Structure 1
Amino acid sequence: MNPPEILDAAAVLAAAETTVRERRQAQVDDLSLVLAWADLHGHDPQQTPGAVPVRFGGDQLVEIGGDGTPWVQDLCLGELAIARQAHVLSTRSVMADALDLRHRLPLTWAKVQQLACETWVACKVASMTRGLDRRRVAVVDAAVAAAVACAPGRVLRIAEAKIIEADTQAHAERVAEQRRTRGVVMTPADEHGLRVLIARLETADAVWVDAMIDRVADLLAGDDELRATHHPDLPAEVGKDELRAVALGWLARPHDLAELLGLLDAAETEDASGAERKRRRPGAVLHVHLHQAALDAGIGVARVEELGPLLLDQVARLLAHTNVTLRPVLDLANTVAVDAYEHPASVRDRTAVLVPADAFPHSTTLTRRVDLDHPVPYDPGGPPGQTGDHNVAPLARRHHRAKTHLGYTVDQLDRTTYLWTTPHGLQRLVDHTGTHLIDGPV
């Protein structure tokens, strides 16, 4: 390959694509060599004539991977680690992942061998699923193999959800066990009189604490007189992080906090009506995705936007501090369009369900906090119904700017499929399964 400095733009892009394939192939070759070494050392050394007994330090077979993987000689790892210029424990971890992929996650391993995904993502899934038995891990394997074209974060979220689904009882027990590790730690004061507060909380409590801190910080940010009265040391151009730290201190003074939030009078009224007490509770919007079977059984896994997969009772605890308003399930059978440039809430909600990820190729963004772009540019003098889920692409702000100003084109083939062409002619197909390279006409 020519030195990068003498390549034109098209050649740089072509070389970058080639490099990705070569890097992935090298990583597959590395895993294959690790597996070959494991195969060479899969016989029981204690069966060799004159073998040193294990009690005297002799070699033995050990289980490195998960349930269903072949055992390997314990002392073989040192020489392989030297050849790979790595620590023995690092090499052991790689071998465990490789064995799990070949013997427990064969569909995902096939995708890795086809260079269809990053090797580290598959290895991460292997380590995440090691606690499942060989039967249950098949559920995760099928789901991950079908999703490898998605962004790594989304693949790992899918794996996390399927691990819960594969053995909900075991996950519930792990959740209960981990709840016993909750705690709050305060470090000693440093030379500046500052201390660090570290808290391990349940998700529901953490979400509400974070929201309350944000609410107080916003009140302080918008009221110069309030800051001058209570925090005269704060500079005029105080940042959000510092305001959040100050806001956390208000949570330790409930009387002052109630007054700040305008709730003091109601809070001090012992006979406040039920409606009044309900009004004082914070409100929230929670977007939950779950299967009807989970509702029918009362157990199962739900995907909570921004938080990830949770058991149903964890979802219930998320709502423990708030008013609950149920909104109807969106009917996505038909297309909704409006005669306006701005996307109304109804279209935004439908788009978030239809296309939950940023529609830009290979994007890792998975949130509702994105711009909504018109793949077919909006024409003020054009026909009615130009804005709707038939002509919308959720894009992170940087991707939206690039598409608008750098000559990217995107064709929306259906409500969840987009064909992208970059300024230098690279093409990618983005759909609900991820981003795909284009080998020919679409």
Structure 2
Amino acid sequence: MATQELEHCDTADAVLAYARSSRAARDRAEVDLYEATVAWAVMHSTYDDRQAAVLPGTDMMIELAGLGAPEVSEFAIIEYGTALGMSSDAAVRYIAHVVEIRYRLPRLHAQVVAGRVPVWRASRVAEATLGLPPEGAAFVDQHLAPVAATLSYAGIDRLVEEARARFDPEEAEERRLIAAETRNLAIHLASATAGGQQVDGTVDITGCLDLADALDLENALAREARNLALAGSDQPLDVRRSQAVGVLARAQTTLDLTGDDTAARVPARQVILNVHLTDQALRGVDPTTTGAGIHLARIEQTRSLTTLDQVTEWLRTPGTQVAWRTITDQPSNVRGGIDAEAFEHPFRTQPTPTGPRRQPAPIISQDIRWFADHPGLQAFQRRPVDLTTTETVDTYEIPERLAEQTRQRHPRCTFPHCTRRARRRKPGETHLDVDHINAYDPDGPPGQTNTQNLATLCRRHHRAKTHTAWHYRATPTGFLWTSPQGYQYLVEPLTTTDLGRQPPDPPPTRPA
């Protein structure tokens, strides 16, 4: 329809008028959505703490906005955000801003409803006032509402800080002390991906150190850079300094920094990289061969790509331990009943010889292949993670082998619009839950815990599925979810498709 109208705009004035009307329609639609969100929050909110008290794991009334605003049902947020095509985290942020504006910034709310202040700008104000006491929020609302449409972000922040200093001096002082403590060190693992485009295998580091610590670090880096040069490295100084950080990191984990032999120390944590290599790379296929593709490896923790040469460079580091296992999506090529690639082969790069060649010969794909083809080097065997087979057990508890297959088959939460990864990326994180699609019936037939009846869900969406009418079933391409209000969503590996309100599937029966 819009395209047909635009085709009739044959003058500059007509195009400009069309653009202005489209902008006005968009702004009005934003206000309509804002008011609908207010109405939804009111329907699912409470000020009564007794109503907010629920059983652990079930629906919870959560505090979204500052003091004085009502609490909102968590499961209501999930359904509303899904209907708008948002992840649950994005829905929490959006509804928090709406509730903050509606209940704690009434003058700004009136400006938004009248169309004089864009919703996005009001949300920026709400984000800044969430931590203020009610008196501070009222102060900001009184002074900001008349000029909110034009006031700069810096002006908004200054006004909020003044309100905090006036009405919450203790918090203002605490924030000042925190701001004064600027020392930090950040290792930007996300920079290894740069949108998934870089394959250079590098990571940025930024920080602010105490002067004495900085001088010590400078001396240590200079010393190790010289040592690398004396050892034969012909790399530029900057490269050797960056390598020196790794040398220090590996060496310092064994030093006693306490001076007390009896004091407890935190042990050095082993760094584990889950590296996915193509079968062409492992076979040593020439990457210039038609159809072979480039020899790339994917680092699971950072979702970044790197080259096979970079992996072999890591393998050359003394003391590196490697565990080898393939993950297949095609039937295994069984040779003599045993697939040599289906086992893990722990080994050290020194002094263990790498196959027919010995150190310091570089480790390349043929060496990895050699380990896979020589069962005598196995420290232990593990079954392959074959994504095409159906594993079945007769218990409710899911064994780790079956749980790992499920996480590899469904690497993210299978709830609509959710992007949480199924496997943990950092120490201290947990894997996503592995859920029975059809609820397990202890009095039912055997084999209910199987590959086809399992999927990955983050804890929030697992709770929503367990304690509300959310339910889903597997389809040939993904999963079909039905919300408590009867809306359906097709979740496929890369997309979520909103199918609108359909004749709902009957909710699955749940064992008591």
- The TM-score normalised by the length of structure 1 is 0.42
Which of the pair has more CA radius of gyration? 2
- The TM-score normalised by the length of structure 2 is 0.37
